[in-house]
């Protein structure tokens, strides 16, 4: 198949690129904004038609959650409008699309893991535009798979894991929020899941994917420091109210992965095992 990857220089896109050599039967078109402006409808239609693209994996998004509150137009363009352009264009070729979304489509007031049938209720510009993107993809592409993920990190790009390692080495003390609960996702594991879906066949609908387990940002930081061998930085728990941000975060955004595990017959790694793997690769 001829497969278009958007956002190829981001965390997830970079992890997908690392796997592509294992699938020589496919031709991958890795693009970022320099190669394809996905907010330009004519450019999207031309690229997909000219290269005879059969499937799209959309990893591109505006993910600066706090900045999104004051950059609504740009956030809307990347998270809502562009996915609809990609979906409509690949639909013309009777192709499929995998679109990456977020736990931020929920406001985090539940106390049990969110399932795909729970009604979305975003509480931020970022979450609202990502939900609108989901709806657009579902509307314009019949064979569309939406994967919601959370707390993404990788050896690539900027992310929480890298930041906590850096700060842990620079500071004697660090305050981290303990009353926001979720599950980290190693982008490598999500990339493997995406490749599995492509190989076994893209199933339409909404799916949840993160690593297994449940944790707070505070506990996540403690684990990062332990696995990275950082011993001289005291990590203190903070309430969300002590660390005000422009955008509201979900207090509880654990995702139930039963649907994707049963659909594709996969086992998802536990968050600490994946974190250890990522830190080993960072140390290399």
CA–CA separation, 209 and 260 (whole Å): 7
What is the rounded distance in angstroms from the CA atom of residue 223 to the CA atom of residue 225? 5
Query: What distances in angstroms separate CA 20 from CA 27, 191, 254, 266, one per listed residue?
Result: 9, 10, 30, 20
Ramachandran region, residue 51 (left: φ > 0; alpha: ψ -120 to 50; beta: rest): alpha
126 has catalytic annotation: yes
The catalytic position among 126, 153, 156, 186 is 126
Separation of alpha carbons 86 and 84, rounded Å: 5
Question: Catalytic residue positions?
Answer: 126
């Amino acid at each position: 198949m001829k497969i278009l990857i958007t956002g190829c220089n981001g965390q997830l896109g970079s992890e997908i690129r690392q796997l592509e050599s294992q699938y020589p039967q496919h031709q991958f078109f890795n693009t970022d904004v320099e190669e394809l402006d996905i907010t330009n409808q004519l450019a999207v239609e031309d690229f997909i038609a000219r290269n005879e693209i059969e499937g799209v994996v959309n990893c591109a998004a505006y993910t600066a959650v706090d900045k999104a509150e004051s950059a609504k137009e740009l956030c809307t363009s990347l998270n809502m409008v562009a996915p609809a352009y990609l979906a409509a264009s690949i639909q013309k070729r009777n192709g499929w699309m995998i679109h990456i979304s977020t736990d931020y489509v929920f406001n985090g007031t539940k106390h049990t893991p969110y399932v795909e049938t729970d009604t979305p209720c975003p509480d931020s510009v970022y979450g609202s535009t990502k939900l609108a993107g989901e709806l657009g993809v579902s509307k314009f592409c019949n064979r569309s798979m939406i994967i919601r993920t959370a707390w993404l990190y990788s050896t690539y790009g900027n992310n929480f894991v890298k930041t906590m390692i850096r700060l842990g080495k620079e500071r004697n003390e660090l305050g981290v929020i303990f009353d926001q609960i979720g599950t980290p996702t190693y982008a490598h594991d999500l990339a493997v899941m995406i490749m599995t879906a492509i190989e076994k066949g893209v199933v339409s609908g909404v799916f949840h994917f993160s690593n297994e387990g449940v944790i707070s940002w505070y506990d996540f930081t403690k684990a990062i420091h332990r696995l990275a061998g950082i011993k001289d930085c005291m990590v203190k728990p903070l309430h969300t109210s002590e660390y005000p941000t422009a955008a509201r975060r979900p207090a509880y955004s654990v995702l139930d992965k039963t649907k994707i595990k049963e659909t594709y017959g996969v086992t998802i790694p536990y968050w600490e095992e994946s974190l250890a793997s990522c830190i080993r690769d960072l140390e290399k």
